[in-house]
Structure formats: structure tokens, C-alpha cells
Chains A and B, each alone.
Chain A
């Protein structure tokens, strides 16, 4: 298996005349906690969408653990979990079934899946809500359920698109702790966020993207050696 969890080579995405992603290349090693930052409309969500199959690239190549996302899409999708920016849970299923059905779509079923769902509900403090509807959950609980859903098939690469947007400070710190533990357990994480302190606290390496291009990619410690991340970010993205 490839040493890279995610390798993007010359990714381009055009919508008519608009170029959303303009030749992004990056390499996320296995086990990394990688920050993918940029202002609104910079191309972060489009890039992530291309990695998971929600966006059809105009040009370029993406590999997940060495599997080409176009030619070997089944293998690559089995290894990646997406927690999208917007709540997109299935309103017809109970909270527990949201996890079990998602595992089903990935080809998994049986007692192991049910045990995994219960374990995730426990870990995300949702066990007492398991048979309820997600629409009755608070915003923070919905976020936790979204992350739990993205983990149900035990992906080796977890992509989080602004997972803490709109959550309170206490829950954010809780989620940070949880993500750190996931990463320590071997899950590679790619995180996009507008909270720069979040990226600085969690990510070991950061890429900053502007107008569809990566303007810098460095280890976090190098990036913030002389200045704080906000100054670096504003200088590179203005």
C-alpha cells in the first residue's frame, strides 16, 4: 500500500469559465493530521468533493492509499470517510439506523456493524438518543452524529469539512480531543476550518489555498515560527 494516504496531482475543476480548483497538488502521508485552509470560495470543498467522488475533476489525478479515485473508485471510497460541512443526515432513519444503513451502503452488515454503531454512539455520547430522530438533536449533537457516521466503516482517511462550524466552545474542545485520539489511533485526518486556532492546535502540517491554488504548504511549527497563523493566513490569502 502507498505511503501516502492522499495524493493529489494537478487537480483542476472548472465550472464553465470559472476555475474553482487550478492545479492543486499535495501529498498527505499516512497518519498525518493535515490542515487545508483558505478563505470562502478558495476551492477547499471542491477539492474534498473530488477526493470522495462528489465532484468530477476536469483534470488531474487523486489517489487514496494508492487507489485511483476514478479507476479504483470502490477501493478508494472504502478507505475514506467524509464529514461534510452541511448536515445531510437521513430524516427517515433513527439515529442508530443512520449509522447502520451507512455501513450497509459500504457493504457492511451483521453483529459487528451493530456493535460498531453502539460503540460510536457511546463514544459520541449519543447512546440515550439512539432510537430517536436526528431532527430532535441539538446542533452540537448533530455534528457529533455526522462525525460518527463518517467513522462507521472504519475509514483510514477521515476528511472533515469545517466540523466545528457553529458549535460552542465546550463542544469544540470535546471534538478536538476526540479527533486527536482518532489520529493517535492511526486515522489520517484532513481538516478544513475557518478557525485558525483550531488548525494550529490540531494540525501537524497545513496547506493554505487561495483562488484554487495552494499558496503554501508547511509543517505548522515552521509556518508559525515568527508570526501567528492569522497574520500568515491574511498575508497569503488577501
Chain B
């Protein structure tokens, strides 16, 4: 064994690999459902109803819809991956495998984030592929698309870790999705452009963090956004940094992990 181990890289990568293995073990539960749901959204909203809607921001409604749907599933996947894995680990006590090992809080956090990123990118690629095949929606700026997925996954994975640590029962994890993430996502611009909303609702939308996320990601597809790109991407990055800091601190002090 190494005499000096400033960063336990093998440990960190093992945490990430374990998360990927876990996702693949439950692939029918975590990968195919979002893909199939998205396919249905595209058919029903994008192609059937969307054909009656005029172009939105210079693209067809179906093409407008794809980046919103990718974000919808990325957000949900990132949160669910970390929240359920961490909570299950606490519930089954298998999290102790990590806690007794020479792993720093940052290594555990980054390991979980990497596992979550792998799952988020897999789902984003599958849904993006559907977008290309079905409605010819292709990102104009791939780097921006990748950056948005990384930042958004980091934000919601960290939130997942936070709630995975705080939750006492499984329904506590689901409650955050039901009462916060889902409503904010649906009104955050997945299906509609801010320009479609009445003036007074547009100002309310500015208090919805998910509006900034979807606006920034849609920019990578359409090259335009309701807000300036730097503003929306900056807001998401600040939120992600705060969530990472809180999750890191909670793991470091062993919140509900170490007695």
C-alpha cells in the first residue's frame, strides 16, 4: 500500500464505478423510463400538438421542446441517482463501507458526482439521439451543451446528496421531487417559452432557478435565449457551487452518517 496517499484516487474512482454499476443494475428503472417518457412527450406534445403551434424562437415547436426535455430528465436523474443511492446506503448501513475507508469527504462527493454524471450523460445522449432522429434537433454549440449538463448534474446531484443525508424515510426524498423539482421544472420552460407567457408571469419566472437552467441549455440548441447566456449560466453555476459546498460540509461533519 502507498505510504503517502494525499488523494485516494483509486477510492474515488471506485465510488464512481460502484455508482455506475448500480445504475446499470437497475437500468429498467432508471434509464429506459425517462427515455420512453421523453419519446411520448415528443409524439404527443412535439409532433401532434406542436404541429399546430407556430415556430418558437426560429425553430419548430418540436425542436424547441427537445432541450427542455433533456434538462427535465437530466435534473430528475441527477437528483434521483444521488438521493436514492445515498439514502439506501444509510438505510442498509452499507454506507459504512465508505465511512471506515480512508476516503475524504471530497473524494466521496466527487465519486458520487462522477457516477451521476455518467448516468446523466447516458440519458442526455439517448434523448438527444431521439431528438436528432425524430425532429432533427441538433445542438449548435456542443461545448455549451456539455457544460450545461455538467453544471446542472452537479447542482442536482449535490441536492440529491443533501436530501439523501437528511431524509428519514424514502418518501422524504420523493417529497422534494413532487413538491419542488417537478412543479418548478414544468413551469420553468420545458414546454413553453417565456415569450409565450403573460408579462406578469414572466417576472415570476425569474424567481424559478430551473428557468435559468433550461434557458441556458436551450441556448446551446437555438443560439438564443430569453436571458443573456452569461446571466443564466452564471446563476446556475453559483447555485451548483453553493449546493456542492453544503453537501461537502455535511459529508465532512458526518451529518446523520457518523454518530
Is the CB of B241 closer than 8 A to any CB of chain A?
A: no
How many residues on the A side are at the interface (Cβ–Cβ under 8 A)? 35
Q: Are B102 and A88 in contact (CB under 8 A)?
A: no
**Chain A binder among B47-55, B89-97, B154-162:** B89-97
Q: Are A84 and B96 in contact (CB under 8 A)?
A: yes
Q: Closest B residue to A76 by CB, please name it.
A: B102
Q: Are A88 and B1 in contact (CB under 8 A)?
A: no
**Chain B binder among A1-9, A25-33, A103-111:** A103-111
Which of B9, B11, B18 meets A90, CB within 8 Å? B18
Considering the chains assembled together, what is the distance between the CA atoms of A168 and B28 in angstroms? 39
Is the CB of A78 closer than 8 A to any CB of chain B?
A: yes
Is the CB of A56 closer than 8 A to any CB of chain B?
A: yes
Given contacts A104-B11, A107-B2, A107-B102, A53 and B21 within 8 Å (CB-CB): no
* Residues in A neighbouring B92, C-beta threshold 8 A: 88, 91
Considering the chains assembled together, what is the distance between the CA atoms of A46 and B98 in angstroms? 18
Q: Are B99 and A53 in contact (CB under 8 A)?
A: yes
Q: Which of A112-150 contact B (CB under 8 A)?
A: 149
Given contacts A88-B93, A90-B18, A101-B18, A77 and B100 within 8 Å (CB-CB): yes
Q: Are A107 and B11 in contact (CB under 8 A)?
A: yes
Q: Are A55 and B259 in contact (CB under 8 A)?
A: yes
Q: Are A104 and B22 in contact (CB under 8 A)?
A: no
* Residues in B neighbouring A97, C-beta threshold 8 A: 21
Considering the chains assembled together, what is the distance between the CA atoms of A90 and B258 in angstroms? 18
* Residues in B neighbouring A90, C-beta threshold 8 A: 18, 94, 97
Q: Are A107 and B97 in contact (CB under 8 A)?
A: no
Is the CB of A176 closer than 8 A to any CB of chain B?
A: no
Given contacts A101-B14, A101-B18, A107-B1, A54 and B94 within 8 Å (CB-CB): no
Q: Closest B residue to A86 by CB, please name it.
A: B93
User: Scoring B residues 234 to 259 as 1 if CB is less than 8 Å from chain A, else 0, what string do you get?
Assistant: 00000000000000000000100011
With both chains docked as a complex, state the minimum distance between the C-beta of A105 and any C-beta of chain B, in angstroms: 4
* Residues in B neighbouring A109, C-beta threshold 8 A: 10, 14
Q: Are B94 and A91 in contact (CB under 8 A)?
A: yes
With both chains docked as a complex, state the minimum distance between the C-beta of A70 and any C-beta of chain B, in angstroms: 12
Q: Which of B1-59 contact A (CB under 8 A)?
A: 1-2, 5, 8-11, 13-15, 17-18, 21-22, 25
Is the CB of B101 closer than 8 A to any CB of chain A?
A: yes
Which of B9, B102, B258 meets A77, CB within 8 Å? B102
Q: Are A107 and B98 in contact (CB under 8 A)?
A: no
Q: Closest A residue to B98 by CB, please name it.
A: A105
Considering the chains assembled together, what is the distance between the CA atoms of A84 and B92 in angstroms? 13
Q: Are A53 and B18 in contact (CB under 8 A)?
A: no
Considering the chains assembled together, what is the distance between the CA atoms of A54 and B99 in angstroms? 7
* Residues in B neighbouring A175, C-beta threshold 8 A: none
Q: Are B258 and A107 in contact (CB under 8 A)?
A: no
Q: Are A54 and B259 in contact (CB under 8 A)?
A: yes
With both chains docked as a complex, state the minimum distance between the C-beta of A80 and any C-beta of chain B, in angstroms: 8
* Residues in B neighbouring A55, C-beta threshold 8 A: 258-259
Q: Closest B residue to A149 by CB, please name it.
A: B97
* Residues in B neighbouring A91, C-beta threshold 8 A: 92, 94
* Residues in A neighbouring B21, C-beta threshold 8 A: 92-93, 97
Considering the chains assembled together, what is the distance between the CA atoms of A215 and B22 in angstroms? 46
* Residues in A neighbouring B10, C-beta threshold 8 A: 104, 107-109
Which of B8, B99, B259 meets A107, CB within 8 Å? B8
* Residues in B neighbouring A86, C-beta threshold 8 A: 93
Q: Are B258 and A53 in contact (CB under 8 A)?
A: yes
Is the CB of B103 closer than 8 A to any CB of chain A?
A: yes
Q: Are B94 and A56 in contact (CB under 8 A)?
A: no
Q: Are A56 and B5 in contact (CB under 8 A)?
A: no
* Residues in B neighbouring A73, C-beta threshold 8 A: 102
Which of B8, B15, B99, B259 meets A74, CB within 8 Å? B8
Q: Which of B104-142 contact A (CB under 8 A)?
A: 104
Considering the chains assembled together, what is the distance between the CA atoms of A49 and B259 in angstroms? 8
- What are 8 pairs between A and B in contact, CB < 8 Å? A54-B96, A78-B5, A84-B93, A105-B15, A105-B98, A106-B11, A107-B2, A109-B14
Closest 8 CB pairs of A and B: A104-B14, A105-B101, A88-B93, A74-B102, A92-B22, A77-B102, A55-B259, A107-B10
18 other contacts beyond A104-B11, A107-B5, with CB at 8 A cut-off? A46-B259, A49-B259, A54-B259, A55-B259, A74-B102, A77-B102, A88-B93, A88-B94, A88-B97, A90-B97, A91-B92, A101-B14, A101-B97, A104-B14, A105-B15, A106-B102, A107-B8, A109-B10
